Structure 1
Amino acid sequence: MSDDRPIHQNTPENPEVHDVAAEDDTTNDPSASHRTVQPGEVKPLRTRLLVLIALVILALDLITKIAVVQWIAPGKPVEIIGDVVTLRLVRNPGAAFSMATGMTWLLTIVAVCVVIAVIRISRTLRSPWWALGLGLVLGGALGNLIDRFFRAPGPLQGHVVDFVSVGWWPVFNVADSSIVCGAILLVVLSLFGFEPNGQRTHSKKADAVAQSEGEA
Structure 2
Amino acid sequence: MEAREPTDDDPATAPEPDDASAPEVEAPDGTRGPGPRQFGLVGAVGVVVVLLDQLTKHWALNRLDDGSVVDVVGSLRFNLAYNTGTAFSLGSGKGLGPWISVLAIVVVVGLSLGYTSRFRLGAVAAGLIAGGAIGNLADRAFRGDDGFLHGAVIDFVDLQWWPVFNLADAAIVVGAGLLVLASLRAPAP
Given the alignment of the two structures, is residue 187 of structure 1 paired with residue 169 of structure 2, yes or no? no
Matches within 5 A, 1:1-216: 38-40=30-32, 43-81=35-73, 84-103=75-94, 105-123=95-113, 125-154=117-146, 155-190=148-183, 192=184, 194=186, 200-201=187-188
Secondary structure of 1:186's partner?
A: helix
The one-letter amino acid paired with 2:182 is: L
Higher relative contact order (CA 8 A, sep 6+): 2
Larger-Rg structure: 1
Paired residues of 2:119 and 2:182 also in contact (CA < 8 A): no
Higher helix share: 1
The one-letter amino acid paired with 2:159 is: V
CA RMSD of aligned residues (A): 2.1
CA distance in 1, matches of 2:73, 2:141: 33
CA drift at 1:41: 5.3
Most deviating of 121-130 and 53-62: 121-130
Q: How many residues matched? A: 158
Distance 1:126 1:189, change over 3 A: closer
CA drift at 1:122: 2.4
CA distance in 1, matches of 2:66, 2:76: 16
Distance 1:102 1:41, change over 3 A: same
Paired residues of 1:153 and 1:159 also in contact (CA < 8 A): no
Any gaps of 5 or more consecutive residues in structure 2?
1-28
CA drift at 1:78: 1.0
Higher strand share: 2
Cα deviation 1:61-99 (Å, max 9, x = unaligned) = 0000011111213432111125x1111111111122222
Distance 1:42 1:87, change over 3 A: closer
Give the TM-score, by structure 2 length.
Answer: 0.75
Any gaps of 5 or more consecutive residues in structure 1?
1-36, 195-199, 205-216
Give the TM-score, by structure 1 length.
Answer: 0.66
Most deviating of 48-57 and 160-169: 160-169
